[in-house]
Amino acid sequence: SHPSGVYNGEEFVFEESSWSFINRPKKLWHYGLNPLRMSMWVEDILDKFMRIYRFQMHDYAFSSNERLLHALGGDDFTRLLNQTIDEAMQKAGFSQKFINQVVCPAMRVNYGQGVTIPGGFLAGAVSLAGVQSGLWSVKGGNKLVCSGLIYSAKAEVIPGTVVITELFSTGDPVKLYEVTYNTSSGLTGDTYDIVVIAAPLGRKMANITFRNFDPPIPEFLNPYNQTITTLVHGRLNTSFFGYRDPQAFHLGAIFTTDSPKLFINSLNLEPPVGDTGTGGKLPLPSAVWKVFSNEELTKEQLNLLFSSYDSVKVKPWLAYPQYSAPEKFPPIVLHEQLYYLNGLERAASAMEMSAIAARNAALLAFHRWHGHSARVDQEDLHEKLKTEL
Ligand SMILES: *[C@@H]1O[C@H](CO)[C@@H](O)[C@H](O)[C@H]1NC(C)=O
Ligand SMILES: *[C@@H]1O[C@H](CO)[C@@H](O)[C@H](O)[C@H]1NC(C)=O
Ligand SMILES: *[C@@H]1O[C@H](CO)[C@@H](O)[C@H](O)[C@H]1NC(C)=O
Ligand SMILES: *[C@@H]1O[C@H](CO)[C@@H](O)[C@H](O)[C@H]1NC(C)=O
Ligand SMILES: *[C@@H]1O[C@H](CO)[C@@H](O)[C@H](O)[C@H]1NC(C)=O
C-alpha cells in the first residue's frame, strides 16, 4: 500500500517513508512504545469481544446489548461505554500525542468522529485494529457481500415502506404481527409470529411505522452521523499540503487530526478495481482520490484540494452511529416477539457486528419461543464454558 501521512491542517505531523523498513524505527522515535502497547490494548479488547463466537456456538443468547457486552468483558466493558476513547486511552497510559496523531485520525477515517466522543470504545478498538492489520475488500465491490448473503439465504426481497401492526386475537395468548409493505405495485403483506427488524430504525433510516402497540415502540431519534464520500478523478494540489514540488509528494493516504481548520476527515488514493499489479507504485499524476468529510465539499474546497480534476462523484450517507455518552443501547426486544438488531451498532459499526446481532436475535427468539430460559442472559459464561471442557 502507499505511504500515509497525518496532517493537522498546517503540516504533516507524521509521514511514512516510501522505504517501508524505515517506518518501524520512525514510529518508535515518534511514539515510543505506544504503538506496541496499542496492539496489546486492542488485542485484549478484541479477545474478550471474540468470546461471543463461543457463546453463540453453545447457543447462548442475550436479551439486551448491555447484557451481551457485560457477558463478554464484565464491568470493564460497560464502564468504558461511559468514557470517551480519549479518556479510556489516557487512563490506560497512552500519550496524548499518540492519541491525537494516531488514534484520532483512525477514528476520523472510520467513523467521521474524533476521540472526544464518548462511548464507542469498541468502535475505537475496531478502527485501530484496522490501522494495524491488512484489511481486504471484495473484488467487484463490497456490496457483493450483501447480494451474496441475500442469495444464499434464499430471502425474498420486497422493496417498499413497511407498517407493522400488532394484532390481538381474543382468547388466544399468541400474539401476531401483521407486516404490510407498500410497494410500487401496490400493497402486500402477511401475518407473522416473530418479526426481526434488521435495518436501522429512525425517520431518516428504515422508516417503519408501528401500529397498535401498547406501550408504543419508542422512536430512535437521529442516531446516525452523516459522512460524505467524494470520489475525484484529478491531480492533487500538493501545495495545499505544503509540498511546492508535486514530484516530492509520495503519499497515497492523508489522515487528519481533530482541527477546526480542516474540512476533510481523510483523503486517499482509491486502488483500481481488479488486480492491475501496480501495488506499491508511486501515485499516478492523475488518479481517483476518495475524500471523506462531514459536510459536502464546496467548489472552492475542491479547487484547493485538487489542482485539476475532470470527474466528481458525491455520496452522502448516514454511515455510522453518532456516538454519545452515556452510551445507552436501543433494546433488542422491542415487543414480545419483535426483535431489533441494529442497536449493537452503537458499540461498533461493521458488517461483523450485524452478523453477531443477527445470530443473537435468532437464538434469543428460539429460546424465548420454547421457554429455554437457561440459555438466555447467563452471567460468567466465560468461566462456565471453560470448566465444561
Ligand atoms: C454510565 O452513566 C450512567 C448515567 O450517568 C449511569 O447510570 C451508569 O450507571 C453508568 N454506567 C457505568 C457502567 O458506570
Ligand atoms: C457528526 O459528527 C461530527 C464530528 O463529531 C459533528 O461535527 C457533527 O455535528 C455530527 N453530525 C450529527 C448529525 O450529529
Ligand atoms: C403507498 O404509497 C403511495 C406512494 O407513496 C401512497 O400514495 C399511498 O397512499 C400509500 N398507501 C398506503 C396504504 O399507505
Ligand atoms: C416516515 O413515515 C411517516 C409515516 O408513514 C411519514 O409521515 C414521514 O414523512 C416519513 N419520513 C420520512 C423522512 O420519510
Ligand atoms: C493549491 O493550494 C494553494 C495553497 O493552499 C492555493 O494557494 C492554491 O490556490 C491551490 N490551487 C491551485 C490550483 O494551485
Cell numbers found for residue 34: 505506544
Q: How far apart are CA 73 and CA 77, in angstroms?
A: 5
Q: In this structure, are residues 124 and 107 in contact, taking their beta carbons and an 8 Å threshold?
A: yes
Task: Choose one of 161, 203, 221 to mutate for the ligand 4 pocket test, by most ligand atoms within 8 angstroms of C-beta.
Answer: 203
Closest CA to 52 of 372, 353, 301, 339: 353
Q: How far apart are CA 25 and CA 271, in angstroms?
A: 27
Cell numbers found for residue 36: 506496541
Element (H, E) at 143: helix 143-152
* Nearest CA residue ID for atom 12, ligand 3: 182
What backbone phi and psi angles, to 5 degrees, belong to 157?
Answer: -100, 125
Could you tell me if the CB of 326 is within 6 A of ligand 1? yes
Cell numbers found for residue 172: 388466544
Per DSSP bridges, beta strands 338-340 and 195-197 are parallel
Q: In this structure, are residues 205 and 301 in contact, taking their beta carbons and an 8 Å threshold?
A: no
| Pocket-forming residues, ligand 3, beta carbon under 6 Å | 182, 187
Element (H, E) at 178: strand 176-183
CA 30 to ligand 5 center in whole angstroms = 30
For cell 459536510, the residue is: 295
CA 228 to ligand 2 center in whole angstroms = 12
Could you tell me if the CB of 378 is within 6 A of ligand 1? no
Could you tell me if the CB of 133 is within 6 A of ligand 4? no
Q: In what order do the strands lie in the sheet with 4-7?
A: 12-15, 4-7, 253-256, 266-269, 287-293, 224-236, 306-321
Q: In this structure, are residues 235 and 308 in contact, taking their beta carbons and an 8 Å threshold?
A: yes
CA 366 to ligand 2 center in whole angstroms = 38
Closest CA to 256 of 1, 3, 9: 9
CA 101 to ligand 2 center in whole angstroms = 20
Give the model's pLDDT for residue 214.
83
With 0-12 CB in 10 A as exposed, 13-18 as middle and 19+ as buried, what is 294? middle
Give the model's pLDDT for residue 270.
81
Ligand nearest to the CA of 187: 3
Residue 364: how many other CB atoms lie within 10 Å: 23
* Nearest CA residue ID for atom 8, ligand 3: 182
Per DSSP bridges, beta strands 161-167 and 176-183 are antiparallel
What 3-state DSSP class applies to 72? helix
Q: In this structure, are residues 196 and 359 in contact, taking their beta carbons and an 8 Å threshold?
A: no
Q: What is the DSSP string of 219-234?
A: P--S-EEEEEEEEEEE
Write b or e for each residue in 248-287: b if 16 or more Cβ atoms lie within 10 A of its Cβ, otherwise e: ebebbbbbbbbeeebbbbbbbbebeeeeeeeeeeebeeeb
Q: How far apart are CA 215 and CA 213, in angstroms?
A: 6
Task: Choose one of 64, 79, 82 to mutate for the ligand 1 pocket test, by most ligand atoms within 8 angstroms of C-beta.
Answer: 82
Q: How far apart are CA 212 and CA 26, in angstroms?
A: 62
Q: What is the DSSP string of 320-361?
A: EE---SS--PPPSEEETTEEE-GGGGGT--SHHHHHHHHHHH
Rounded (10°) angle between helices 121-132 and 65-80: 80
Q: How far apart are CA 40 and CA 333, in angstroms?
A: 35
CA 154 to ligand 2 center in whole angstroms = 38
CA 206 to ligand 4 center in whole angstroms = 10
* Nearest CA residue ID for atom 2, ligand 1: 326
Residue ranges for the chain with pLDDT beneath 70: 1, 19-22, 24, 117-121, 126-127, 129-136, 169-175, 221-222, 272-285, 325-327, 388-389
CA 275 to ligand 3 center in whole angstroms = 46
